[in-house]
Amino acid sequence: MSNNSILLIDPNFDPANSANLSLLVKIGADTFSYVIIDQERKFVHAVYDEQECEDGYEKLKERLKNDTYLNLKYETVKIATHTQNVVYVPQELFNENEIALYTKFFADADSQNIYVQPSLQQNIYTVFSLPYSIEKIVNHNWQQSIKLEQNAGLLELAVQFDKETLIIDFTVGSFQFVYIKNNNIAFNQNYQFEDTEELTYFILLIVNQLNINMKQVAVNVCGIINDGDNKWSLLTQYFDKVEILTLVSDLDTTILDDMPAHYYTSLLALQTCG
């Protein structure tokens, strides 16, 4: 494993039992992670996370060659991945019979399959496809897998908020941004940044474009951010209400006891998707 990766395994994990377990994989532009869960016992057996990848898709290919846990047979598999081919459609504008209206905004033209992912709130539909080369790899390894867009976990977490709220999920060099207003997801986007200056630029740009009141909006953060670091200092400089967002669930996450609980909030939230 690289210096930017971590693998946490329950010492009692039995790979021979994988056919009764669930695998959740999240592929970002610059990250790759997965979790192995026993859904019946509500138990997390393993978490793998790698930050600062040059390419999340290439990391998937590499891990499939070298990672025995990733190659086990699982009862269910969910793959949440970043893609340039994605459009978020409000419910009132969505028509399942006219999907082609949305795919014309895709960045790539080599898509084979179009996926439509509704949120729990049913107020936004994510229409997306995977690059053909990646979809081919995913289908070869996990024929019955459920495909999700990268932010699927965050969109499900948004259900719990009934006030104006920002959810920001950080990696080392990127962030996923969800804006909830009037009980609806008003904005959802991903950004990569080189340094704190560029991060500041993106945050202030979004706030200005969406006319967000920084004194009133609640900001919930998760992922790679810690109280007192540069990201935290930036947010608390501009926003009055900044809190850490952890997943509220009945999962036994004992193997994560030595890690900040919010690092894997959006990854673990994938269990509620699909």
**Can you give 44-69 as a three-state secondary structure string?**
EEEEEEECCCCCHHHHHHHHHHHCCC
Give just the sign of the alpha carbon dihedral 220, 223, 227, 233: negative
84, with CB counted inside 10 A (0-12, 13-18, 19+), is: exposed
Percent pLDDT > 70 in the chain is: 96
pLDDT tens digit sequence for 37-79: 999 999 999 999 999 999 999 999 999 999 999 999 999 999 9
As a whole number, the mean pLDDT across the chain is: 91
Transcribe the chain into DSSP letters: --TTEEEEE-TT--GGGGGGSEEEEEE-SS-EEEEEEETTTTEEEEEEEE-S-S-HHHHHHHHHHH-TTTTS--SEEEEEE--S-EEEEEGGG--TT-THHHHTT-S-S-----EEEE-TTSSEEEEE---HHHHHHHHHH-TTPEEEETTHHHHHHGGG--SSEEEEEE-SSEEEEEEEETTEEEEEEEEE-SSHHHHHHHHHHHHHHHT--TTT-EEEEEES--TTSHHHHHHHHH-SEEEE----SS-B-GGGTTS-GGGGHHHHGGGG--
C-alpha distances in Å from residue 25, one per residue of 37, 70, 154, 240, 271 = 11, 9, 14, 34, 10
Predicted confidence at residue 120, as pLDDT, reads 61
Predicted confidence at residue 100, as pLDDT, reads 85
The pair of structure tokens assigned to 260 is 């900040």
Q: What is the mean pLDDT of residues 114-141?
A: 84
pLDDT tens digit sequence for 6-31: 999 999 999 999 999 999 999 999 99
Count other Cβ atoms within 10 Å, centred on residue 73.
Answer: 11
Q: What is the pTM of this model?
A: 0.92
Predicted confidence at residue 46, as pLDDT, reads 97
Percent pLDDT > 90 in the chain is: 68
272, with CB counted inside 10 A (0-12, 13-18, 19+), is: middle
Does the pLDDT value for residue 109 go beyond 70? no
Q: What is the mean pLDDT of residues 154-169?
A: 90
Q: Burial letters for 240-260: b for 16+ Cβ neighbours within 10 Å, e otherwise?
A: ebbeebbbeeebebebbeeeb
Predicted confidence at residue 31, as pLDDT, reads 95
Q: Which domains does the chain have, with CATH numbers?
A: 161-244 (3.30.420.260)
Greater confidence, 169 or 93? 169
Predicted confidence at residue 123, as pLDDT, reads 74
Predicted confidence at residue 248, as pLDDT, reads 85
Predicted confidence at residue 219, as pLDDT, reads 97
Query: Could you tell me the pLDDT band of residue 137, with boundaries at 50, 70 and 90?
Result: very high
Predicted confidence at residue 269, as pLDDT, reads 93
Q: Which residues contact 250 (CB under 8 A, 6 or more apart)?
A: 42
Predicted confidence at residue 44, as pLDDT, reads 97
218, with CB counted inside 10 A (0-12, 13-18, 19+), is: middle
Query: Could you tell me the pLDDT band of residue 106, with boundaries at 50, 70 and 90?
Result: confident
